[in-house]
Amino acid sequence: MNTTPPLVDMVGITKRYGGVLACDAVDLTVRGGEVHALLGENGAGKSTLMKVLSGDVTDHEGRIGVEGEPVRFTGPADAQRAGIAMIHQELDLVPGLSVADNLHLGREPRTRFGVVDRRGMAERTRALLRRTGIELDPARPVGRLRVGEQQLVTIARALALDAKVLIMDEPTSALSNAEVERLFAVIRELRQRGTGIVYISHRMDEIGA
């Protein structure tokens, strides 16, 4: 019998927007190395539920536990500190900043002299991008990338957080077939490392992959 507490345990999560019931007493448990597919039509409440878990939605009913401890997130930073990261369907990159700056925004590594370690950022950026299957100049502005490349940069940024639970909200919407295959390879790699993954989609053909 597995006595290890789950990475995430959501119980009775309910969220209303005015008179609209987006989530109705939803329970979800995610353990290490599990991949959960969250399916449903647009408007079914999939993204809302995961925004509760990622700290983007804070005014909700129900409770959340992380590795057996009750938590109440006041924002995404709280969730990230607890090891939960979300790749949003809507790209939230800063177009005028470089790829490396976007990957490390708010978490820039520094030298022993206290200045930003640009060389270290570039090296880590290349390594993270290679995990997603692309080679990009870390100094290139994100606004000059095509949409599929921007989506992969967003995925690489989530990998940089080394999250225990990674939420992917329609991550293939802007990817080519080859990029989709690489993404699935990343998911398999994360699963082997013990990461819990919640994969939001309305595409039935992706779930068996």
Q: Over the chain (209 residues), what is each successive 10-residue block's mean pLDDT?
A: 84 94 95 92 88 95 96 94 88 92 89 89 93 90 91 87 90 84 89 93 66
152, 175 contact by CB (below 8 A): yes
- The DSSP H or E segment spanning 129 is helix 118-131
pTM, full prediction: 0.85
Q: 47-70: string of b/e by CB count within 10 Å (b at 16+)?
A: bbbbbbbbbbbeebeeebbbbeee
- The DSSP H or E segment spanning 150 is helix 147-160
Residue 91 dihedral angles phi and psi, to the nearest 5°:
-65, 130
Distance between the two ends of the chain, CA-based, in angstroms? 29
Tokens at residue 57, please? 């939605």
pLDDT in the model for residue 206: 65
d(C-alpha 129, C-alpha 134), whole Å: 6
**Closest by Cα among 70, 56, 87, 50 to 6:** 70
Largest CA distance in the chain: 55
d(C-alpha 91, C-alpha 154), whole Å: 7
Query: What does DSSP assign to residue 113?
Result: T
pLDDT in the model for residue 2: 62
